[in-house]
Chains A and B, each alone.
Chain A
Amino acid sequence: MNVLTVTLNPALDREIVVENFKINEFHRVKNPSYSVMDPGGKGINVSVILSGLGVRNIAMGFLGGYIGKVVEERMRLMSDLITTAFIHVEEETRENIAIVDPVGETITEINSSGPIVKPDDLRMFVRRFDVALSRVRHVVISGSIPRGVDNEICRSLCKKVSNSGKVSFVEGIGPAFEMAVEAGVVTVARPDLRSRKLLFGETMVDLKDYVKAAKRMLERGARLAILSYAVEGDVIATNDGVWLFKTKSHIDRSHLLGTGDAFMSGVVNSMIENEKDYFLAAKRGMAAAVAEAEYISKERISLEDIDEHMDSFDIRELE
């Protein structure tokens, strides 16, 4: 087993494609394939994409109720390379609903908050995390923190990864993400800036704000910082410099679904082979994201897709 992914607040992703979607109007889904259910939550998405890249992985976190069982079963059916080890909680797993409009180029997302995780559930999870950690080299902790769990959990798990000399990849937002980065226990840091462009108490507006935030993450000990910048760009920072990656072709907003998780998967996949080559990892991450953006839905890209897209973006050195 190469990789452990942690999704503390998974979801059942329901994606509905509606042309000319408008609020307060009646819409009918034209084609059954335009209404799909997939296991979701950022860590689970990484697990699924990694399985498409041939990477055996174990997925952990909390699931609950009927929806939780659907998420788990669908993950198992998707690939033999995914092993599940979820703690099942009392309340129901949440649903994330995305309404994709390819004509209006919009995505409307509604994410519910998910179940409460009780102290006993957390205790059981942490003990199993410790054992699973001994079986892998790379740990992805991604997504939101469920109700009932302290924001400190992300730092605590990353510290375990760091103390065992292993590699952590963290994507998140808010205090949980910032506490882990500030503690210097995150190897690859990627803030999830979809809902707000706020990091370390500062709203990021200009490119220089993104560069400043990326450098702050490196100062705290991260080896690679990745910040999504505008729709088609990413600010990349390693101890060797700061770059702006920008796609050569236009990407519709409606095609952005899953691109962030594809980026992280590309980075993880690259670092399994070349653990210290952070710049190469960022390039393969970007190529994975561009490849994913060719699909309107979440699709499992292949290694060939990544190879083919290594030149699909420009790289500009910023510092």
Chain B
Amino acid sequence: MKVREAMIRDVSAMFEDETIEDFIVLCLRQNRSGLPVVDEEFKVVGFLSESDVIKSALPSYFSLLQSASFIPDTHQFVIRLGKIKDDHVSQHMVKPPVLIKPDDTVIYAADLLIKNGLKVMPVVDEYGKLMGIVNRIHLIHAATQGKIDR
């Protein structure tokens, strides 16, 4: 089974100079956990997820801690979030993004999602322009339908 058979043909995306606040609003309204970031030619230049925003708003030593309870003042998170909300998404996005092509297999897509700990991945054409997305639940659904090995 090819990615083109399992992808969602939606090209909702953000531009590099749009803000973290814009990102939060778009994700909330579309029930999305992340969005591709594109340039003016619609080439995917990055990907921003809610996890990236959380990481940016947490102190840098957070990743070393076993539990959020070790943070002395959780209010710091809210303060930091307030500080980055007007930042451009390009300052916090993952780049280069993990991308997949429509003619790749869904097995390869699943491999990339798992290895990179992603929920969503942009699908691009031969020029790197956004065509849609694949997400975990659609791949899991394809697997349960026995379509993955086709």
Q: Establish whether residues A85 and B12, one from each chain, have CB atoms under 8 Å apart when the complex forms.
A: yes
A134 within 8 A of B: yes
List residues 1-31 of chain B with CB under 8 A from any CB of chain A: 4, 8-13, 15, 18, 22, 26, 29-31
Given A64-B29, A135-B42: A86 in contact with B12 (beta carbons within 8 A): yes
7 A-B pairs with the lowest CB-CB distances in the bound complex, closest first: A88-B29, A83-B9, A84-B10, A85-B11, A88-B30, A131-B42, A83-B11
- Chain B residues in 8 Å Cβ range of A69: 30-31
* A129 shortest CB reach to chain B, Å: 12
Whether, in the assembled complex, A58 has its beta carbon less than 8 Å from a beta carbon of chain B, the answer is yes
The reply to whether B9 and A84 contact each other, CB–CB distance below 8 Å, is yes
Which residue of chain A is the closest to B18 with respect to CB atoms? A124
> Bound state CA distance, A300 and B41, in angstroms?
33
Interface size on B, residues (CB 8 A): 21
A253-268 interface code vs B (CB 8 A; 1 in, 0 out): 0000000000000000
B40 at the interface (CB under 8 A from A): yes
- Given A76-B9, A83-B11, A128-B13, 20 more A-B residue pairs with CB atoms under 8 Å apart are A58-B11, A64-B29, A69-B30, A69-B31, A72-B10, A76-B10, A82-B9, A83-B9, A83-B131, A83-B132, A84-B12, A85-B12, A86-B12, A124-B18, A124-B22, A127-B15, A131-B38, A132-B42, A134-B41, A135-B42
For B31, the chain A residues whose CB sits under 8 A away are 69
Measured between beta carbons, the chain A residues less than 8 angstroms from B15 are 127
A84 touches B11 (CB 8 A): yes
For B10, list chain A residues within 8 Å (CB). 72, 76, 83-85
The answer to whether A209 has its CB under 8 Å from any CB of chain B is no
**Interface SS, B side:** mixed
Chain A: how many interface residues by the 8 Å CB criterion? 22
Contacts of B12 in A (CB 8 A): 84-86
CA distance A85 to B129 in the complex (A): 14
Partner of A131, one of B4, B18, B29, B41: B41
Q: A residues within 8 A CB of B9?
A: 76, 80, 82-84
In the assembled complex, the CB of B100 is this many whole angstroms from the nearest CB of chain A, namely 16
Chain B residues with Cβ below 8 Å from A153 are none
